[in-house]
Structure 1
Amino acid sequence: MSELDEVRSRRRFGLIAGMAVLPLAVDLATKQIALANFSPADPVSTLGGFLKFTLISNSGAAFSVGEDATWLFSAAKLIVITGMLWIARRVRVPLWGVVFGLLVGGAAGNLVDRVFRPPSPFQGAVIDWIQLPYWPVFNIADMAVVCGGALAMVAVFRGINLDGSLVSEKSAETGKPSGPEGKNADDGKGKGQGVN
């Protein structure tokens, strides 16, 4: 690896790490503030009732689904974080660096709750405290995951690969049309030749 490649690699790692640590730190800090100041019985209402701060301990997933399988969610998050870090090594553009950083940081924020909070390791409940109308109570880690997912969709719709190349460029290199049309065209050729 050349010196320039090493510098770029360190920058990419720094971006991903920074974008992961920021939401993780904010999430952990705000959860401690929520534990000290809010309660499920007495939510704090603001913005005319549009935004409420109420403390919820969620041992399940979204909408409190699967409350008896907390250990399974803990294991799944650990596997997902490991997988994202493995794939993130291929990232060559800032947009994807931000995506992976937010996803890892958000997932790690809720994993910390599951591993270290009562009642026992890997059985802990996630602290949620932000409430909007018609939406389950959530936290900063959840916001990071949603923002990371939204940015990932932007990158996919714009055709930006992890290495910074465009999907259309990759298709031009292989000589095949991009997207499902290319696959269908190949399939059609194969079927046509078989019939003749």
Structure 2
Amino acid sequence: MSRVSTDRPSESAADEPDKSPGDPASTGTSADLDAVAEQPEVPEEAAKPRRPLQLRTLLLIAVVLLGLDLLTKCIIVATLTPGEPVYLIGKTVRLTLVRNPGAAFSMATSMTWLLTLVAAAVVIGVVRIGRTMRSVPWAIGLGMVLGGALGNLIDRLFRAPGPLQGHVVDFVAVGWWPVFNVADSSIVCGAILLVILTVFGFEPDGTRAGGREEDDKAEEKTV
């Protein structure tokens, strides 16, 4: 009569996990373990999603301001007569039609052609920068500059006395301040916004200068 074996397998052998031949732990060699430990880690900056481009925002703001500038100029030219201002708030705020051959504050009145080339260069430069823009505030500021530059550039190209010599239509007068238009206001306000962003360290790519250093200091304090 055969005897049934009651011997139980060793618990250490049963509990030991299966090891595949390709597993570094199965080989037990220090070289394989070092290779696993030395695998490159993905930098945190690379793991973070990149901000979306803001070229559309820039162009949208520029188109809106350009349209507003052209509309107001057409209305003013059709309704006002030079030398006959319309007073809105006493004698402080008034509408008056002025054709300016120069730049702001009536400077460089004899260099209209040069101002035209400068405006064209500004437009090209803003568009090139905007192609890599990822900051909404920077897109707003550059959009204001672009819209204003295009508004005055159109006057230089298509208004009398001729191409590259056209006079810009100005019509808003406030106190002693020189007469200006919507395009001038857009350029000045956009430039001020860009200066503020630069002073406080906001970059066109959406990051902030020194932000990484501040994060590192905060981590050191928590350790």
Shorter-chain TM-score: which interval? Answer: 0.7 to 0.9
- Indicate conservation of the 8 Å contact 2:112/2:164, yes or no: yes
- Native 8 Å contact 2:157 2:165 kept in 1: yes
Secondary structure at 1:49's aligned position in 2?
coil
Determine helix, strand or coil for the equivalent of 2:99. strand
Give the Cα separation in 2 of the matches to 1:141 and 1:155.
21
- Which of 81, 84, 97 in structure 2 is aligned with 1:55? 97
Query: Hey, which bits of structure 1, 4+ residues long, moved more than 4 A?
Result: none
Q: For the Cα contact (< 8 Å) 2:82–2:98, is it kept in 1?
A: yes
Is 1:121 aligned to residue 163 of structure 2?
yes
Alignment of 1:168-187 (within 5 A): 168-169=210-211, 172=213
Aligned position for 1:107: 149
Gaps (5+ residues) in structure 2? 1-48, 217-223
Q: Find the aligned partners of 2:186 and 2:110 in 1 and give their Cα distance.
A: 25
What is the aligned-residue RMSD (CA, Å)?
1.9
Residue of 53, 58, 61 corresponding to 1:16 = 58
The CA deviation at 1:14 is 1.6
Give the equivalent residue in structure 1 for 2:43. none
Amino acid at match of 2:133: V
Query: Per-residue deviation at 1:42?
Result: 0.8
Encode CA deviations 1:37-72: one digit per residue, 9 max, x unaligned: 122311001112221100000011112222211111
Per-residue Cα deviation, 1:140-174 (whole angstroms, up to 9, x for no partner): 0011111111211221222100011111136x39x
Tell me the amino acid that sits aligned with residue 62 of structure 1: A
Matching residue within 140, 145, 164 for 2:206 = 164
1:43 is aligned to 2:85: yes
Distance 2:191 2:114 in 1: 22
Measure how far apart 1:89 and its partner are.
2.1
Gaps of 5+ in 1: 176-196
1:194 alignment counterpart: none
Per-residue Cα deviation, 1:104-161 (whole angstroms, up to 9, x for no partner): 0000000000001011111100000000111110000011111111211221222100
Counterpart pick for 1:96 among 138, 143, 149: 138
* Bigger shift: residues 136-145 or 81-90: 81-90
CA contact (8 A) 2:55 2:132 kept: no
Task: Please say if residues 115 and 121 of structure 1, whose CA atoms lie closer than 8 Å, have aligned partners that are also in contact.
Answer: yes
CA distance in 2, matches of 1:115, 1:99: 24
Residue identity opposite 2:190 in structure 1: G
Spell out the pairing of 1:126-141 with structure 2 (5 A cutoff). Answer: 126-141=168-183
**Bigger-Rg structure (1/2):** 2
Letter of the 2:184 counterpart: D
Which has the larger helix fraction? 1
Q: Distance in 2 between matches of 1:141 and 1:148?
A: 10
Letter in 1 for 2:65: P
Aligned-pair identity (%): 37
Aligned-partner residue type, residue 52 of structure 2: R
What TM-score comes out, normalization by structure 1 length? 0.80
Cα distance in 2 for residues equivalent to 1:70 and 1:143: 20
